[in-house]
A and B are shown apart, each in its own frame.
Chain A
């Protein structure tokens, strides 16, 4: 399967000074894709969703962000995606701040949100064309990229059918392809195999691994601990908006003296409670 390649991002427009800054940063991060969250705070009224979270998801790695419901995973993803402003701290994609340089950060990022949000009257292929167009792609290159994703995610059967009536798995495949249509160097995927059958789950995992092998930075959120244990190179467990523990699956098992990842997770949460 030919997955997305490590792309040099487009040379952006705008003023000469702005372009120069972007080019310098592009050169700086040319060989490395990275998502950084630093001392992130975000609250909604009296609810503190994220309280001082810091993490780095490096290039060529699959980083898993796991935690109980309400731990702050989705809020952190939304800050990285440029949808929310942090109260304190910052997030950056390839060095581009997601608030002050949102457009540049978003160009380098593919996002799979937890709500897939498809247009019922558009086909899967039209979704890819729409998002490809919004990312500045067009013509034969876009068509070829769409076809490539349709083929490797097993969407051929329903690619030209309107999204109304898609199964959850089919919706997820389209949303995943939509996130990857512009071959982003960085990906944040919220529950990327939720609702998929065994074969499709395996295909998606393989796709994510292929992208990792090509140097992409992938940040995943999942409740499926068995899946993240085999897929992720690094795991970060968060609770109450803070990082509890970080390391490779083997490191975490060793540090928590647990046999499987589920025990690691439970033990880590228990430490926080104490």
Chain B
């Protein structure tokens, strides 16, 4: 029988690329490992950040009006101090039998030791048994230190006044902290970690797919018959890149949704944490990230094409997220603000815009356009390099 080709010449490239894309999607959607990675990988960052936030809300942020109970030895020697602590929501309780061991083992966060010499005196020494290795004790320790300092200042003021001296002489310079952050809250510090986590996810989300459909196909021997088909190499790569891009896109949708839902749930479950950026911010971040996803995919495919085996490609791709992270390191030393050169640097531009969006600032549409343009240009360069690599005759040969 005759199977007549039906394609139109003009749409041939689109048809070929679509055929490859559909095949790759069908193939990998049947791969449970790919699907599982596509779902689980994007949840790791949000889950990690959610866990850190719970930890922070429990240990670093003492909620307003919350009572704190601190173990103390010799509380009876300084009733004034006990009363001052009580007024400020901290009650002193008897310390365990072995106070040092109790602190070291985490049984109590700290033990306050008031010596007998303190009895009836204004000037005395108190000791705090603390374990600085335990981050969980930070909140209690800081609270007790602040109260001790406040009590000390109050006593000093009273003594100065009794001596008819100016109390201001004790502390000639008074320091007041005014936090002008958009939402001064410990949660805001952790929300800044969304940016590097998103960058990692962009470069890892579809990496296994990109490797499998290039280096993997060569390793399984299916690249040779594929390259024997009357299809231009760039058409094949366009279809394969499209499939990897769609998987990355899917991973990022899951990732952004997970950030919003998990962080939102953690913040809602805590009375002291600021809510995470709203859904609109995550949608904007997704839009900013789209060209970067294209760059990630073309870089992954180029690396997989230049690698001699799947194993080698996986090693290189594990290092790939470091490259876009490098501008992020430079960001720490860069002048504050948003400049065109920052936006024009692929990777750096996106990180700068992510940070602005998360901290509630506007993103200049010109910067968004510039960033999308330069990132797409670089992605195109990597795509053309991949096409060049795919034209080499040893591309389908192992080793």
Q: Do A and B bind each other?
A: yes
Name A's B-contacting residues (CB within 8 A). Answer: 2, 5, 7, 10, 12-14, 78, 81-85, 102-104, 106-107, 109, 111, 113, 115-122, 126, 130-139, 141-142, 144-145, 148, 162, 175, 178-179, 181-183
Contact of B229 among A14, A134, A142, A175 (CB under 8 A): A134
Evaluate contact between B228 and A106: CB separation under 8 angstroms: yes
List CB contacts (< 8 Å) of B198-242 with chain A. 220-232
Contact A107 B230 (CB under 8 A): yes
B245 CB to closest chain A CB (Å) equals 20
Q: Which of B4-12, B118-126, B335-343, B381-389 contacts A (4 or more CB under 8 A)?
A: B4-12
CA distance A36 to B227 in the complex (A): 20
B228-283 interface with A by 8 A CB criterion: 228-232
Contacts of A10 in B (CB 8 A): 4-5, 7
CB of B236, distance to nearest CB on chain A (Å): 9
- Would you list which residues of chain B between 24 and 57 have a CB under 8 Å from chain A? 26-27, 30-31
**Pair B393/A83 contact, Cβ less than 8 Å:** yes
- B286 within 8 Å of A by Cβ? no
The yes or no answer to B315 lying at the interface (CB within 8 A) is no
Residue numbers in A under 8 Å from B5 (CB-CB): 10, 135-137, 182
Q: Which of B3, B7, B220 has the most chain A CB atoms closer than 10 A to its own CB?
A: B3
CA distance A119 to B31 in the complex (A): 11
Interface membership of B162, Cβ < 8 A: no
| Closest residue on chain B to residue A144 by CB atoms | B1
Known A104-B230, A117-B220, A120-B220; further 9 A-B contacts with Cβ < 8 A = A83-B393, A106-B228, A113-B228, A116-B221, A131-B225, A134-B19, A138-B6, A183-B1, A183-B2
Interface assignment of B183: CB less than 8 Å from any CB of chain A: no
Contact B224 A130 (CB under 8 A): no
Q: Is the CB of B228 within 8 A of A182?
A: no
Chain B interface main SS type: loop
Name the residue among B5, B20, B231 with the largest chain A CB count within 10 angstroms: B5
Q: CB within 8 A of A135: which of B23, B222, B229, B232?
A: B229
Task: Determine whether B396 belongs to the interface, using a CB cutoff of 8 Å to chain A.
Answer: yes
Cβ-defined contact, A117 with B223, below 8 A:
yes
List B contacts of A12 (CB < 8 A): 9
Contact indicator B229/A121 (Cβ below 8 Å):
no
B225–A133 touching, CB < 8 Å? no
| Docked CA distance A2–B229 (Å) | 24
A171 CB to closest chain B CB (Å) equals 10
- Least Cβ–Cβ distance between B29 and chain A, in angstroms: 9
Report the nearest B residue to A4, measured CB to CB: B1
Q: Cβ of B225 and Cβ of A142 under 8 Å apart?
A: no
* 15 residue pairs from A and B, CB less than 8 Å apart: A2-B1, A7-B2, A10-B4, A12-B9, A13-B10, A78-B224, A106-B230, A109-B228, A116-B221, A117-B223, A117-B224, A119-B27, A133-B19, A138-B7, A183-B3
A-B pairs, top 10 by smallest CB distance, nearest first, are: A13-B9, A136-B5, A115-B221, A117-B222, A117-B221, A106-B230, A136-B7, A10-B5, A145-B3, A133-B19
Do A5 and B393 contact each other (CB < 8 Å), given the known contacts A106-B230, A135-B230?
no
Q: Which residue of A lies closest to B6 (CB)?
A: A138
B16 sits at the interface (CB 8 A): yes
Structural contact, A122 and B393, CB atoms closer than 8 A: no
A117 to B224: give the CA distance in the assembly, Å: 8
Contact A148 B221 (CB under 8 A): no
* Residues in B neighbouring A7, C-beta threshold 8 A: 2-3
B393 contacts A84, C-beta separation under 8 Å: yes
Assess whether B6 is in contact with A139, with CB atoms less than 8 Å apart: yes
Residue of A nearest to B227 (CB): A83
- Given known contacts A121-B31, A122-B26, is B3 in contact with A83 (CB within 8 Å)? no
Residues of B within 8 A of A120 (CB): 220
